[in-house]
Structure formats: C-alpha cells, structure tokens
Structure 1
C-alpha cells in the first residue's frame, strides 16, 4: 500500500518561505505562548530534561524553557530564524543550544525527556521525523505538538475574506497535525488540552506584520499584493474603532508517542 501523501499546502516548497529573512523578521510579532503552556509541558516530562525543540523558529518555546533552567537543543532549518532568535531575550542562555539545520538532517543528538514542536511539525517529512523522534526519547518521554490559535476579533468576518483573497496557498483546508500523523500510523496520541484564553496586546502595525510571518503571506511571494492586504486589514481594524489589538491566545497541546 502506498503511503498517504501530505496535503499539498504543507509541501516543503511552501514551508521554504520560513528561510526568507523578511519572514523571520516578522516572526517576532506572532503570538507567543503563555505561562500555562510551559507548566503543562514541564508536567509531561518523566525527568528533568534535556528538551529538543524541532522547528524552533525564533525560540518561542525554547527560550522560555531554557529560562526555567532546562537544557534545550533548538533546531531550525532557517539560519535567519536562528540568528534572530539568539538576539532575543533569553537567546544567549548557556543551557540553550541553537542549530541551523533541519531535524531530518541533524546528526546524532539526544536522548531527550521531551521533544516539542511549536507550529512546525506539519512542514516536516513525517515518515522521517516521527521514527527519529521515537529513537531520541528516553523511556516515558513524550512528543508534544503545540499550536496557537486566536479567538475571533471584531473584524473577523473581514479578515476571513481577506485571507481567502490574498493567501498564496489557495488549496488550504483545516487540518489537525496530530490526527494526520496518527492516521498514517506514525503517532499514538495520549492526550490533548487547550489552555484558557490568554490575552496579548499588540499595536495594529505589529498585528498586521505578524501575518507576513506565515508561509502563505510572505511578502516575497505576495509581491505588490502584500501592501494591498496590509491596507485592507488596517481599514478593517480601523472601522471597528480599535487603537490596539488584544489577541486572546488559546494554545492546544497534544502529546503522545511517536510510533
């Protein structure tokens, strides 16, 4: 039987947008994770570390985990992400070790008490990555898939229309990474939780810029349409009388064993 192919909107070519320096620079404006996320991740560990963060980006998971005293290896295929992550608060902590390399190609590392993937696993080669994770975990160690979403904002209807119009990934459909890999026999889900809404305040400029940290909204791929999108979203926000954006972050954590 042939393995089930990944959805085409999760292709390596689409994910390569994160190697663009402009995408990495906008990444700082994506919503990070609240304290409850780290408390839960730490509770999953059968030992005191170390931790591996695969597809770490600028370290939204790696830097706070290292600041809590854990040894963390942070890997990302994008040198730009790693460079910017090192310069952010906590990026120079002695227990945080950065590597600009894809997890698929990384050499011998580990073992780990916990492997985390924050909004990154969906871009990877699942048939390679999941068995590799299994081989790197200590007995009782978990793989935790961490994904953020935001509760609807007052201009949500306008935003949905703008995303459909300007996204460079026109074949996108909603998906659940954990269920996708479980359906392929690569993951055994053991639990999932969603955090309570956690507010984060941004300027309107930072909020709009955060969209360009997504593969389907990279400025290089959008071209002139990027400015059109920015202006249209700014108008939609202004029409609701907002002077800043309060994002209610809800983070879902799914954990289990790579199969």
Structure 2
C-alpha cells in the first residue's frame, strides 16, 4: 500500500493529467455506451465540485435524473480518487490517449452529448436507417438529399435533426440543415433548442454557426434555463458573455 501511495502522481500532476483526459474525451464520446458516459460525467462532477450538492431533477427530466443519480452514487468519494478513476478509464478505452492530446487545444466540459442518455436501440440495418441515424453517423451525403418535409421531422423526444447535429458536434450537417431552412430555434420536449445542446456539449463551432443563423440565446427551456446557463466550459461561457 505504501508503494502505491509513493508512486501516485502529485496533486498538481494528477489535475493536469485529468484535465487533458477530459479534453480527450471529446474525441471518444461518439462511440461510448450510455453507462460509460455516465461514469465519466459523475467523476468529472465529483472531481470538480465534490459530493453531489444539487436537488434531484423532476420526474420527467429523464436525462437530468440519470446524470444526478450517477453523481449522487459516488457518495463522499475524494476528488483525487475521482480524477484517478476518470484518467484510468480513459486509458482503458484508448491506451495511447496521452500521445494524441493537444494540451493547449480542444474544449473541455463535464457534460457531453446529452442526447446519448436515451434508451439505446439495437444495431440498425443500412436499409432501415432514417435521417436521425444519418445525422448521428455524420453522413452528410444522405442529409444533403433530404427534402423540405424530412428535415422538420422530430424523434420521440421532440428532437430535430439540428438538435442531433448540435449534440454530436457535426458542423457540416448543421450548416446543411440550416441552408435547407430548418428552424434554428425549434425546441424539443424539454424546451431546449439546438443552441442548448451545443452549449452544453461545448461545441464552439456549432454554437457560432447557430448564432450566425439566428439562434436566439434568450430562449429558456422547461427549467427556465437559457443556453448560456447550460455551459460548463469557460471558453464557451466567454463566447456567450461577448454577445
């Protein structure tokens, strides 16, 4: 046990490695299952804020409850232990991750791809895929072929194709949809616009594209939150402050 404690990185080194790991997570989330996304979310919150200190979300806030419960279940875990588990999990997924990280680049946020926290469906055959599958896969060619009726479709949670593009960080698809005149300010079942999703996920390029096409940053979701209030990354927050 003493040997393990001696070999553990110093607090400053651990925090720096943790921040790099959080940055690299941006490149991994598209292929992560729901339980793994929750794992990272909870440990990021624990590392940055300590034990869960927020009220449990309402019954109909499906995504919020999953996030809250994952964090709450960590109990009194120490911040350093949360960082170590976060970094270790990144290494399990991508053993060479530290060689791929641009220390000074990339955005970092505790919450990414919020729409991933929905019931997952089985693998879909190519011939059975729909426009939502194409957006998630970043299949720009399929999206370019959609007609005006198809681009206004919603899924079971009221999300449009633009919500999904904003959530996944697919800038080219978002621009394509906007060029096809999709309503940039459409809200999902929880009152969130695509700008809420992009802000929450820390996708700077998507945020800029949405704002350039008339996204309204003053729209509130069902909890009374504007997109700016969903932001956890300081770089993203500064962009909204400049509006």
Q: Which has the higher contact order (CA 8 A, sep 6+)?
A: 1
Q: TM-score, normalised by structure 2?
A: 0.29
Q: TM-score, normalised by structure 1?
A: 0.28
Question: Which one has the bigger strand percentage?
Answer: 1
Question: Which one has the bigger helix percentage?
Answer: 2
